[in-house]
Structure 1
């Protein structure tokens, strides 16, 4: 085989350039319109789509997935005690966010509610129960649990506290040991 002449070398270079240009144009045509934008001009929706694309190929541990993408917890029905419906609720809320509405005994002030709820939150935290606290009114606050199964442990602790009136979990109220509004059935 002979040496390439200058004209055949130019022809080969032209063919390679055209092929590279066609491939580049084809790839550009496959991109959606939002991906063709300069990243400086990306909207929040564009950034979210880009993040979803990155996450598609990435193996993310279950506990790091957003709550709505996590698989439901596996509940072993053989361990379920029909006499204890709270245990079933506890198992079903494992790994899910749960909010509990709490009330402090009256009369109270916003400062007293803040002080007591902060004290109880610290005590829960010291027992490895993670709860975020939000004050609603002078006598009411919310404990939000990232792992809903911990809410029942928190309830067991809170109902024993002096100054604690009531906690509502899954629409069921639980009155504190020193509650002034405790129904007669619970006395």
Structure 2
């Protein structure tokens, strides 16, 4: 048995009436009640699953955002690393050039030292010869002047070559 009633709607117009169908509880079959309970349980379960999935989606979205930020940071770090590698390569090139220049200057200094030693040896040889000649020749006036001039010449040569040798370090 079905009762048909009219009841006001809780809408804005209280004069509006809708048709309400009322069914006594004893007429609803038990299977229908059980399936309605199952559907209600499934609906609650689906609602809970929806909330869980929404939370997971929010977590994944946040993780994706963090991942994108980390990716940007990684790209920036890779760019910094590339820049640093370029700077290191430029420094190595410059270091190699400076090393070659130092090697060339050291070689030049060594050559000049060799020349200096040769000149020093020649000066010592000249002094020795001059001393030998002064023993052989007993002309005191000529010998004295010659000896003085030779010594002045030797001192001047030593002074000139010393200045050249020392000046190489300042150039």
Instruction: Mark yes or no: TM-score above 0.5.
Output: no
Structure showing greater Rg: 2
Highest relative contact order (Cα 8 Å, sep 6+), 1 or 2? 1
TM-score computed with the length of structure 2 as normaliser:
0.23
Greater strand share, 1 or 2?
A: 1
Greater helix share, 1 or 2?
A: 2
